[in-house]
């Protein structure tokens, strides 16, 4: 027996003895999907500098090529989020874009409008005091609703840089109402099965006030819009120490958790590799998602099953594809561990007020080395048992470096 199979057999024996249905876990892992972002394959940077990387994608087709490579390596990244206008075809042919993506083995996912980069948005987009600028932003958002039809996307992912830098700069209430009015129009133009995911961020680039600063504000907006408006949680968009898993649990229970932008942070919106700073937090978030999926509340379970899982990272110094693969794998590992939590025993300990036992049951699942299980699942899915090593050995990185060279700016960054 090979070392891989021996380790897997030992893990199965241990998990089975604990009452874990390993076959059910394997089935769930094979159904997992993580969307990668087109902009994650291009040169990106901080507010100070965009760092060039040899072979970084400069066209949408190159981004789709890279995303397809990540999917081939992992088996669980079949869709690509696009950013408009960064990914707008020069000839306007979105059907050709979709056909190209499908030919590479992926599909177009969420559509992300950009209302934060053009000069007129200096004072905001939908929150701007200038009606003409608000109209410009609204036109772009409605254009993205039309693009959803063209690329057969069911997700409009919205993030706004709107806010103020100084007290008294603008009326906070009027800015709120401008957003309500604008988003209402956008909501009415969604495809019939489309969802609007409203993202929030408590600061940056605005520093005195942000128009959608927290999950409560995003939730309030969604309630006014309708059932197909849901909250998008970016793991970096919170103050230090915020309990993100509690936010996830509440939004699941309310039926308003729409999706994630997965990344990690140390201080602010660092956009680091998922799980690189706080893998336990990532596990705890997945724990709440699995608890809802497997729970007795059909509404929460349905919400959990339709959550959109997306990566949103800024790969500045570590390359492009390898860190994306690593992020996808870290999400896979966190999900696998969450699937091992003994739900019935945990519920009994919680009901009995056994604080330490409940905590121990959860952390014991986190400490399980699931790598043999994941290797087995990957083998069954027809992908490499070690995707990082497989990518390094593929020659893809050397090829795209030679073909694409070094671009000074791409993906919307300057």
DSSP conformational letter for 126: T
* Residues 54-81: tens digit of each pLDDT: 999 999 999 999 999 999 999 999 999 9
- Residue range 201-228: mean pLDDT, rounded: 97
The mean predicted confidence, pLDDT, of the chain is 95
> In this structure, how many other beta carbons lie within 10 angstroms of the beta carbon of residue 205?
13
The pLDDT score that the predictor gives to residue 5 is 83
Question: Looking at the domain assignment, is residue 360 inside a domain?
Answer: no
Which residues sit opposite 35 in a β-bridge? 310
**Residue 260, SS3?**
strand
Strands 163-164 and 209-210: antiparallel
Q: Are 309 and 35 in contact (CB under 8 A)?
A: yes
Measure the CA angle with vertex 34, ends 297 and 299; round to 5°: 15
Residues 6 or more apart from 186 whose CB is under 8 A from it? 138, 141, 142, 145, 156, 158, 196
The pLDDT score that the predictor gives to residue 314 is 84
- Residue range 77-94: mean pLDDT, rounded: 95
Lowest mean pLDDT among 31-45, 106-120, 186-200, 298-312: 31-45
CA-to-CA distance for 74 and 100, rounded, in angstroms? 20
Residue 197, domain extent: 32-341
Question: Looking at the domain assignment, is residue 17 inside a domain?
Answer: no
**Element containing residue 309 per DSSP (H, E):** strand 308-311
Residues 6 or more apart from 197 whose CB is under 8 A from it? 110, 155, 156, 157, 158, 230, 231, 232, 258, 259, 308
* Residues 314-327: tens digit of each pLDDT: 888 889 999 999 99
CA distances from 201 to 188, 231, 286 (A): 24, 12, 21
- Residue range 283-296: mean pLDDT, rounded: 97
- Residue range 184-203: mean pLDDT, rounded: 97
The pLDDT score that the predictor gives to residue 409 is 56
Is 8's pLDDT higher than 90? yes
Which pLDDT band holds residue 413 (cuts at 50, 70, 90)?
very low
Kindly write down the DSSP assignment for every residue of 152-191, as one continuous string: T--EEEE----EESSTTSS-HHHHHHHHHHHHHHHHHTS-
Which pLDDT band holds residue 2 (cuts at 50, 70, 90)?
low
Is 46's pLDDT higher than 80? no
Domain count across the chain: 1
Is 49's pLDDT higher than 90? no
* Residues 332-367: tens digit of each pLDDT: 999 999 999 999 999 999 999 999 999 999 999 999
Question: Looking at the domain assignment, is residue 271 inside a domain?
Answer: yes
Question: Looking at the domain assignment, is residue 274 inside a domain?
Answer: yes
* Residues 101-140: tens digit of each pLDDT: 999 999 999 999 999 999 999 999 999 999 999 999 999 9
CATH code: domain of residue 324: 3.20.20.150
**Element containing residue 195 per DSSP (H, E):** strand 195-199
The pLDDT score that the predictor gives to residue 234 is 98
Which pLDDT band holds residue 99 (cuts at 50, 70, 90)?
very high
Share of the chain above pLDDT 70, in %: 97
The pLDDT score that the predictor gives to residue 326 is 98
Which pLDDT band holds residue 47 (cuts at 50, 70, 90)?
low
Question: Looking at the domain assignment, is residue 350 inside a domain?
Answer: no
Question: Looking at the domain assignment, is residue 387 inside a domain?
Answer: no
Share of the chain above pLDDT 90, in %: 92
Structure-block tokens of residue 143: 């254009």
Strands 79-84 and 107-113: parallel
């Amino acid at each position: 027996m090979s070392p891989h199979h021996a380790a897997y057999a030992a893990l199965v024996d241990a998990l089975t003895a604990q009452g874990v249905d390993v076959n059910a876990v394997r089935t769930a892992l094979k159904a997992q999907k993580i969307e990668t972002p087109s902009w994650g394959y291009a040169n990106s940077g901080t507010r100070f500098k965009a760092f060039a990387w040899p072979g970084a994608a400069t066209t949408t087709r190159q981004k789709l090529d890279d995303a397809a490579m990540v999917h081939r390596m992992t088996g669980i990244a079949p869709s690509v989020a696009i950013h408009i206008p960064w990914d707008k075809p020069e000839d306007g042919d979105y059907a050709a874009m979709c056909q190209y993506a499908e030919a590479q083995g992926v599909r177009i996912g969420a559509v992300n409008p950009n209302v934060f980069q053009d000069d007129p948005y200096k004072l905001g987009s939908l929150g701007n005091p200038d009606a003409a600028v608000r109209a410009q932003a609204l036109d772009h958002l409605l254009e993205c609703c039309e693009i959803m039809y063209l690329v057969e996307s069911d997700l409009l992912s919205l993030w706004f840089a709107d806010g103020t830098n100084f007290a008294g700069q603008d009326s906070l209430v009027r800015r709120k109402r401008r957003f309500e009015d604008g988003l209402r129009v956008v909501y009415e133009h969604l495809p019939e099965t489309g969802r609007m995911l409203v993202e929030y961020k408590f600061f940056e680039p605005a520093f005195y006030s942000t128009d959608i600063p927290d999950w409560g504000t995003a939730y309030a907006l969604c309630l006014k819009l309708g059932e197909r408006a849901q909250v998008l949680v970016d793991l970096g968009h919170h103050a230090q120490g915020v309990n993100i898993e509690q936010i996830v649990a509440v939004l699941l229970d309310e039926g308003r958790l729409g999706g994630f932008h997965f990344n990690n942070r140390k201080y602010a919106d660092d956009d680091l590799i998922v799980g690189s700073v706080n893998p336990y937090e990532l596990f705890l978030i997945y724990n709440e998602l699995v608890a809802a999926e497997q729970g007795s509340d059909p509404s929460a379970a349905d919400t959990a099953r339709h959550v959109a899982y997306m990566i949103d990272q800024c790969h500045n110094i570590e390359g492009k594809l390898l860190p994306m693969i690593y992020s996808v794998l870290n999400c896979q590992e966190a999900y696998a561990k969450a699937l091992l939590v003994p739900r019935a025993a945990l519920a009994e300990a919680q009901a009995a007020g056994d604080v330490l036992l409940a905590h121990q049951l959860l952390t014991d699942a986190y400490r399980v080395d699931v790598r043999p299980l994941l290797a087995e699942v990957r083998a069954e899915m027809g992908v490499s048992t070690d995707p990082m090593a497989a990518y390094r050995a593929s020659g893809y990185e050397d090829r795209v470096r030679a073909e694409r060279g070094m671009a000074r700016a791409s993906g919307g960054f300057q």
